[in-house]
Amino acid sequence: MAYLWKPGKISAIKLATAITSVDDEADISGEISGTSNTYENTQAYMKNTTVAIPAGAVEKQDLLGVDTNGFQNAELEDKPFENATISGTLVLHNVEVLETFYYGDGTTATDTGVTGTTYQAGILSSSGRKDCAILMTLDNGLTTTSKKKINVLLNNARITKLGDVKISGPDSHFEVDFEATCLPRDFYMQFLTGTA
């Protein structure tokens, strides 16, 4: 019987600055622990998420002649893999999580009694948009050799969408959609078993 992963089995969705070198021989869930700009409670604001694994298209190349069975001679040609993407819906809250990666550093806002940061899309600040690492970890919660863990990492990812800000009704709450993408070489999917 298949094991059903439930929303509560997401032990972490972490967002951090891009990882310089990913050690894919280790448990990559520890790759961004202690990293600056780490937002380990991102999952607490998330209502859903979709990870699109890089698609690898294959095309048929027709060749001259036919084979011994009368079929057109042909070969399959592998095309380059597409980017990986992660998308989801976040509950709009009162602290910045994705903004500094999407907009850049922003402008310091100071006035009598208030401090903060103002962000605007399209302003090419000195930092510009920042690459980030997004890690999603599924954990079945066991501490025995039956422990199962899945890590999905998008490294050197760029957030491509941060909006729309929307509310579904007068008795609901505000939400914001987001999407990020990375190159196939920066996408990792890791299946682990054990007590580590």
- Encoded tokens for 106: 């922003």
Please classify residue 9 by burial: count the beta carbons closer than 10 Å to its beta carbon, then call 0-12 exposed, 13-18 middle and 19+ buried. Answer: middle
> What one-character DSSP code corresponds to residue 82?
P
Cα separation, 192 vs 147, in Å, equals 8
In the chain, how many domains are there? 1
Across the range 174-190, mean pLDDT stands at 94
pLDDT category at 10 given cuts 50, 70, 90 is confident
Cα separation, 140 vs 73, in Å, equals 49
Q: Please tell me the chain's helix, strand, coil percentages from 3-state DSSP, rounded to the nearest 5.
A: 10, 50, 45
pLDDT category at 34 given cuts 50, 70, 90 is low
Q: Specify the pTM.
A: 0.86
Instruction: Find the range with the poorest average confidence among 19-23, 48-52, 117-121, 187-191.
Output: 117-121
pLDDT category at 40 given cuts 50, 70, 90 is low
Domain-embedded: residue 58: no
What is the model's pLDDT at position 82? 96
Show the domain range for 168: 7-53+83-106+114-193
Asked if pLDDT for residue 85 goes beyond 90, the answer is: yes
Domain-embedded: residue 160: yes
> What one-character DSSP code corresponds to residue 53?
P
Instruction: Find the range with the poorest average confidence among 35-44, 74-83, 172-181.
Output: 35-44
Contact 181, 83 (CB under 8 A): yes
Domain-embedded: residue 159: yes
* Percent of the residues in the chain that have a pLDDT greater than 90, as a whole number: 35
- Encoded tokens for 61: 């190349």
Across the range 86-115, mean pLDDT stands at 83
Q: Where are the alpha helices (DSSP H) in the chain?
A: 99-103
Cα separation, 194 vs 79, in Å, equals 36
Cα separation, 14 vs 6, in Å, equals 18
What is the model's pLDDT at position 196? 64
Domain-embedded: residue 97: yes
Domain-embedded: residue 65: no
Residue 115 three-state SS:
strand
Domain-embedded: residue 68: no
- pLDDT higher for 82 or 106? 82
Sign of CA dihedral 153, 156, 158, 159: positive
Angle at alpha carbon of residue 133, lines to 2 and 27, rounded to 5°: 50
Asked if pLDDT for residue 37 goes beyond 60, the answer is: no
- Encoded tokens for 153: 């990492």
Domain-embedded: residue 121: yes
- pLDDT higher for 127 or 104? 104
Asked if pLDDT for residue 128 goes beyond 60, the answer is: yes
Across the range 56-65, mean pLDDT stands at 95
